[in-house]
Structure 1
Amino acid sequence: MEFAQRLRPSHLSLLLRIAETGQLQRAAQLCAMSQPAASRILAEVEERAGGPLFERHPKGMRPTALGEICVRHATIILDQFAALEAESRRISAGEVGRVRVGAVTGPAVGLLMPAVRDVKATTPDIEMTIEVAPSTTLVRGLVDGNFDFVIARLPPEHDSRDFRLYPARSEVVSLLVRPDHPLAGQGEVALEQLQGFEWVIQEVGSPIRQAVEAAFLERELRTPARVTNSSSFLVVLAMLAESDAIAPQTEEVAQMLAEGPLGGRLAALRLAEPILVSPCFIIQNRFRQIPPAARHVLDRVFAHL
């Protein structure tokens, strides 16, 4: 054990070069050391190994049985060192690692997913974990160390001085309906035309719910009375398919559902006046540094702002 513990990578490299070239002088040149230094190192290694590692012949040096063992293990050890160095460089460069990100629904679709696609195209070895949840859950998870960063609104119970906040996109509400809904394809729709329909909408207090209700109240209209409260896309899709219900979603989500794989099965109403949701922020914990891989993802998110 003492013999192995005293060996250095430079010692192992010298052994490999001697075995490859059969010449001590050439091996010393390849290892960027003088021949006397190489002779001294080889003598020290042989003394600690307990016997000669190379036989001297007129045509060069050949490994002894003990030398062959040392050369074989030196090859393995140096390969592991090279792998360690390469992997360390990739981690430091943000090319490898685990990234944990949270976002509310709109930015998850319109901002985070395009960034993730970019990252996967250039650095496929980054392992992503993405959670979509309300802002309160996300910011609490950020404080607890469950996320590297989140895209959310800062709940009032949190002190903004504890975070790094970067403005993200403003959100616009879009109203989804089935394609044969009575209001579909009618051009711009006024809020007054929406009052008699059933709605499937997020729970009371959610940003989209607040924005929709505020839009009605600003025009001195009654807020929707026939409401099913749900944040589940499955519930939304089921109700839209089976009724004339209206489902408010962020514009990014509405485009995905109306123009993406479900294109033709849903439609978005054109509102005469837009309904705006309070803006989101890209939020980092001020007291924690994010790892290089997460920084790589964050940079791509900023690029899509």
Structure 2
Amino acid sequence: MIARNLRHLRLFLAVSDMGSVTLAAGRYNITQPAVTQAVAKLEVSAGGTLFDRTRQGFFPTARGKILAGRTRRAFATLDPPLTELSPRLRLVTSHAQLTALIRVCETENFSLAARSMGLAQPTVHRAISQLEQEAGRPLFQRTAFGLVASRAARELAQAARLAFRELEQAEAELAEAEGREVGTIVIGALPMARSVLLPGALAAFRAQRPTHPVHVTDGRYDELLTGLRRGDIDLIVGALRDPQPIRDIVQTTLFQDSMAILARNDHPLAGAADLTPARLAQQQWVVPRQGTPARAQFDGFFAEAGVAPPVSIIEAGSILLMREMLTRGDFLGCISDLQAVAEIRHGLICRLPVAASWALRPIGVTTRSSWKPTRAQQLMLDLLQQEAAGLGRPQDEAAPKDDHKAGRL
């Protein structure tokens, strides 16, 4: 594990950029032995030499180039909010102080932050006080309900999260260079992806990477998006949003999907020929929750016909729950057509012949705009794209080109 000594990492970058311990020492106004010692300690934690030492200077090894690339990205994210608070913070802020800042922002309480870090409360309080002293301003407002982070504190905490994630990516890339599997790919899975797109891609990934850790986390879109932007999640797979909810993400369309209205095989409406919106509005429904693209299309189906929407609705995004509900009563369901394919193929439910001009929904991958995948993460993206090639309609056959920010996998 790479030592999280920010000062040592800055000195390492200076040597990498300048090719000289002496010049790096001059840049930071410290002694040459101090730089040499910092690099040596970093090499121990990084698992090998970072420089080829020659008479002509210090030249990064393959390992050094990997670490330098990720470290530059980390400081490119971290330094702007540090400098905004105080230029001196770039030189004196420690990993421990930034970790304390992150936890206090999350918990809004010194004691809870300390407990989550396994530290004493005064230690966390002192770390925040040191940051505030260097910044020359308070980072938190003390209220009766807890600590309220200032805008500058929130921005710095967010930058620190992403910077630390870059160092974790560096560890994964260094391990890959040695043939080891380090780091976990974290995928945020929306309902449609869990049943259609992800299983095939994950099986293919496991065939090529038998031991690489993968974690799939379920949740609502807004929860997964927060995790993505914080660096806790690497990519979200599922229905894309229109309009794009925030600028610091990239939505990449993999294929297009449509909607279907479902029922149990012996439902009174199964096979009926006059399934008008007015008649369907009188039924009991199981549909995705408000705020999802699928629900917007369901509501739009009735709105376009000038019909009041159904009043008997159970909100559920799971095809498994929907299937069980449909088989236990005269319920109808409305969900992604591809999600229902397996259930229909196995004779569990049927698709009703409803004349509806469903708009095609873009299904794809959402990532941070600044994200640079490791080789393992890139493999997962490639396999998702391959799995999607046989699903739905290709991107160039539907939907306006400017609906989503273009991205490349």
* TM-score bracket for the superposition, by shorter chain length: 0.5 to 0.7
Determine which of 234, 256, 263 is the counterpart of 1:177: 263
Identity %: 23
Counterpart Cα distance in 1 of 2:209 and 2:334: 36
TM-superposed deviation, 1:190: 4.1
Q: Please state if 1:151 is matched with 2:237.
A: yes
Counterpart Cα distance in 2 of 1:222 and 1:155: 24
**Partner in structure 2 of residue 302 of structure 1:** 385
Determine which of 372, 376, 399 is the counterpart of 1:293: 376
Q: How does 1:1-305 map to 2 (within 5 A)?
A: 88-91=177-180, 97-152=183-238, 153-154=240-241, 158-160=245-247, 162-186=248-272, 189-233=275-319, 235-259=321-345, 263-276=346-359, 278-305=361-388
Counterpart Cα distance in 1 of 2:197 and 2:379: 15
Gaps of 5+ in 1: 1-84
Counterpart Cα distance in 1 of 2:220 and 2:299: 19
Distance 1:188 1:196, change over 3 A: closer
TM-superposed deviation, 1:126: 2.4
Structure 2 counterpart of 1:276, which letter?
Answer: A
Which TM-score applies when normalising by structure 1? 0.61
Q: Deviations over 1:86-136 (max 9, x none)?
A: 964435xxx775211113222333322221122122322222211233321
Q: Deviations over 1:112-170 (max 9, x none)?
A: 2221122122322222211233321221110111211112434868432x123312322
Q: Number of paired residues?
A: 214
Q: Which SS does the other structure have where 1:276 is aligned?
A: coil
Contact 1:207–1:277 under 8 Å retained in 2: no
Q: Which SS does the other structure have where 1:143 is aligned?
A: helix
Counterpart Cα distance in 2 of 1:154 and 1:125: 33
TM-superposed deviation, 1:296: 0.7
**Partner in structure 2 of residue 46 of structure 1:** none
Counterpart Cα distance in 2 of 1:86 and 1:221: 59
Contact 1:106–1:171 under 8 Å retained in 2: no
Contact 2:319–2:340 under 8 Å retained in 1: no
Which TM-score applies when normalising by structure 2? 0.47
Counterpart Cα distance in 1 of 2:190 and 2:196: 11
TM-superposed deviation, 1:192: 3.9
Q: Deviations over 1:39-80 (max 9, x none)?
A: xxxxxxxxxxxxxxxxxxxxxxxxxxxxxxxxxxxxxxxxxx
Structure 1 counterpart of 2:378, which letter?
Answer: R
Counterpart Cα distance in 1 of 2:255 and 2:353: 21
Gaps of 5+ in 2: 1-173, 389-409
Q: Deviations over 1:198-234 (max 9, x none)?
A: 1112222222221111011112222112222333556
More strand by share: 1
Q: Which SS does the other structure have where 1:108 is aligned?
A: helix
Contact 1:96–1:125 under 8 Å retained in 2: no
